[in-house]
Chain A
Amino acid sequence: MSSTPVDTAVDATARARDLLGVSRLTNSALTAWLHGLPGVDQVGCEARAAALGTRSIKTDSKKWAIDLAISMIDLTTLEGADTPGKVRGLCAKALTPDASDLTAPRPAAVCVYGDMVATARATLGTDSGVNIAAVATAFPSGRASMAVKLADTREAVAAGADEIDMVIDRGAFIAGDYLRVFDEIAEVKKACGSARLKVIMETGELVTYDNVRRASWLSMLAGGDFIKTSTGKVSPAATLPVTVIMLEAVRDWLDLTGEMVGVKPAGGIKTSKDAIKFLVAVNEVAGEAWLDNHWFRFGASSLLNDLLLQRQRMTLGYYSGADYITDDAPSLY
């Protein structure tokens, strides 16, 4: 996290020109490129995802997968009602996921609104191994001026965010203004400095799998370090088929460019069983190189406790209960 910031926006455009084989990056060049990607057959894609979901992960491999999944969580609170107290609780949970079993791994990061970064930093300190991710760019709608989005990003980074979760302008994407989406991502990436950038595509609003594939490639082309499904505010959020398409995209991007990009499904993944299905998909679609929290994350909150319940069950040999797992994010209502 200490590398010198580079002018990635310029790099992104130059590289995009190179990859597309054009002298100037125009919307029509981007359109031709994105629309030239292979189509996705919905039924076939969903069948593939369902088949991955039938893998039966038992005993040692389940134990391993649970710990890996815990380590991949971006433990998230993104409510209008977030308070410093709520964020401190979240951070405490991240530091000690299972107070009864200190061998439980910590999640990868906490994920908060930008104005909570400082609070989080104060609780987590600098050597906990738990990163701070901040949503930015007028999350969740992204409906603000570029100046606001960039300021949002810079403030979060300045406050100590290690990672920025931006949203793309879905309106622009759906209107076919790919260059605008590209430029925004590239600009935000530039504003991130050394922070890693996750690009939220809000796949639930893109609706079709073809759009998911195109948005994935556009986000990677523009310099995103991660492609992320959702804000968590729109349903459907992180579905397995959408994640499979994104895993195919990062796999193929590696083939094309030699670079790895991370994947983050976020929203709706609540159970250990679900999480393990996603890990199977990571393993079999993108490959085992992505089975690492540097390259794969779960955007989630309640998932952590379900994983811990399963972990206790496997450690203890009997079923545990909610009263044996600390909960720092109970419902407000």
Chain B
Amino acid sequence: MTKFEYAPAPESGAVVDLKPSYGLFINGQFVDGTGTSFKTISPATEEVLAEVAEASAADVDAAVKAARAAYTRVWSKLSGADRGKYLFRIARILQERAREFAVLETLDNGKPIKESRDVDVPIAAAHFFYHAGWADKLDYASLGPNPRPHGVVGQIIPWNFPMLMLAWKIAPALATGNTVVLKPAETTPLTALLFAEVCQQADLPPGVVNIVTGAGVTGQAIVDHHSIDKIAFTGSTGVGKAIARAIAGTPKKATLELGGKAANIIFDDAPIDQAVEGIINGIFFNQGHVCCAGSRLLVQESIADEVDRRLKRRLQTLRVGDPLDKNTDVGAINSRAQLDRITSLVAAGEAEGAERWDTGCPLPEKGFWFRPTVFTGVSQTHRIAQEEIFGPVVSVLTFRTPSEAVAKANNTPYGLSAGIWTEKGSRILWMADQMRAGVVWANTFNKFDPTSPFGGYKESGYGREGGRHGLAAYVTTGEGA
């Protein structure tokens, strides 16, 4: 019996007005798809939230045509300043309806309300603000001479940050003058559909943003569509490779934000209490459903025991449960399929001889849940050190010297992110240079900002999102030789 029980503090779901079923958002209207439909559920309760249309190839074609027409007739003729004003409007509406988006995101995704409320939705709005300002300043963005939009961009986003990824995709595309056909993930379509309403409220010209819901087949239809000029994809490395193959030899461009297996490296002179927080934030933020998660903890051997003790003590204070409870730290696993994948990789970790530990905290009976888990005694060779688990599971490895830490950190086909914890400035800079990773967090982790480019090396994909660099993927320039 704990002394200080926190009573349930649920965020009210009443702010969300869920419809029983949703169509596709094409050319500024919600329309019935020609395909079948699927149910989206709350992963915390397994309750059906809504029935959502599964866009067929014909639906995708209609969306692309709408996007093309909007591009040709309206969007490409608007001044940058006017495009920017639409984006500013959208940003404001997102702020005004922030609570609604946060609750809906948490319902559909299973992530804790404190994250959707304090991270996903505000940063999504910030992305629109940031890019709104670029719309009439592209000539100053050092993108090369005469930056021009590609035209129609197909965007496919994952289920881990549905609204934030939508913002990462749509805001730069629109700012640079492209129009969009976006497919949210099949397990988390609802905030994208709510965003469609925002587009209507903002009087965004019809067809500039089109939202088609569906699964892989719908995504494939977007990738394969002849009138798509560019693909922007965030998701698994496997699908990313398939997209790269599919567009090979075509004029289609692509940016791919894919998987990761980040090393979070703790030196013996680290600011230890903050490092422990960084480990927690690195792997348990969003249930570890984060491509840049610090899933491989590399601890200097001289403090391995101490970090282990502090980490496990800290883990006991993590509150796992109802995502709508404002005190929940770790929410639900997004889907049965993802839970199965986590479970099987954890079983593999045990079978390979790593030592598994979890908090033993109680879990709700319904829904998809996984306890925060720590594996110690992990080697580079173990699957849990190589494969992306995409769940609340951290694999702890040790190292002896900075060079060894670098070697282990880089010893992966991925290269998305890395963490470095040390109080020694010169070591931070040296380590940061050595990391083959697109984002390096030193004495912090999992920080995101619209001005900060994000993206990976190697098999973590190509292209950057955010910042001046993120614009480059959405324009062509008139450069010569």
Contacts and interface: CB of A to CB of B under 8 A. Distances in A.
A47 interface: yes
Nearest to A289: B3
A44 B7 contact: no
A82 interface: no
A228 B4 CA distance: 23
Nearest to B424: A39
A288 B2 contact: yes
Interface in B273-294: 273-274, 277-278
Contacts of A45: 273-274
A7 interface: no
Interface in B233-289: 269-274, 277-278
B444 A65 contact: no
Contact of A48 (B4, B270, B272, B274): B274
A62 B6 CA distance: 8
With a 10 A CB-CB cut-off, give which of B3, B8, B273, B423 has the most chain A CB atoms: B273
Contacts of B270: 38
Contacts of A279: 4
B78 interface: no
Given A61-B7, A62-B7, A44 B114 contact: no
A55 B329 CA distance: 10
A92 B17 CA distance: 54
Nearest to B9: A56
Interface string A59-87: 11110110000000000000000000000
A65 B4 CA distance: 8
Interface string B4-15: 111111000000
Nearest to A65: B4
B423 A39 contact: yes
Contact of A40 (B6, B118, B271): B271
A39 B269 contact: yes
A39 B428 CA distance: 15
B317 A284 contact: yes
B210 interface: no
B444 A38 contact: no
Given A43-B444, A54-B326, A48 B7 contact: no
A56 B327 contact: yes
B271 A41 contact: yes
B9 A41 contact: no
A283 interface: yes
B218 interface: no
Given A44-B443, A54-B114, A61 B277 contact: no
A205 interface: no
B441 to A, nearest CB: 11
A27 B389 CA distance: 50
Interface in B440-464: 443-444
Contacts of A59: 7
A43 B118 CA distance: 17
B273 to A, nearest CB: 5
A41 B270 CA distance: 9
A57 interface: yes
Given A44-B444, A56-B326, A57-B9, A283 B4 contact: yes
Nearest to A38: B272
Contacts of A39: 269, 271, 423
Contacts of B8: 58
Contacts of B317: 284
B7 A55 contact: no
A44 B278 contact: yes
A43 B447 CA distance: 12
Contacts of B2: 288
Nearest to A50: B118
A58 B7 contact: yes
Contacts of B6: 55-57, 61
B269 A291 contact: no
A284 B316 CA distance: 9
Interface in B82-115: 114
A56 B11 CA distance: 10
B9 A38 contact: no
B265 to A, nearest CB: 15
A248 interface: yes
Contacts of A56: 6, 9, 326-327
Interface in A271-311: 279-280, 283-284, 288, 291
Contact of B5 (A40, A43, A55, A61): A61
Given A38-B271, A44-B273, A54-B114, 5 more contacts: A43-B444, A44-B444, A61-B4, A64-B5, A280-B4
22 contacts: A38-B271, A38-B272, A38-B273, A40-B273, A40-B274, A41-B271, A41-B443, A41-B444, A44-B444, A47-B277, A48-B274, A48-B277, A54-B118, A54-B326, A58-B7, A60-B5, A60-B7, A280-B4, A283-B3, A284-B317, A288-B3, A291-B4
Interface of B: 2-9, 114, 118, 269-274, 277-278, 317, 326-327, 423, 443-444
Q: Which 8 A-B pairs give the minimum distances between C-beta atoms? A: A44-B274, A56-B9, A56-B326, A38-B272, A41-B271, A41-B274, A39-B423, A61-B7
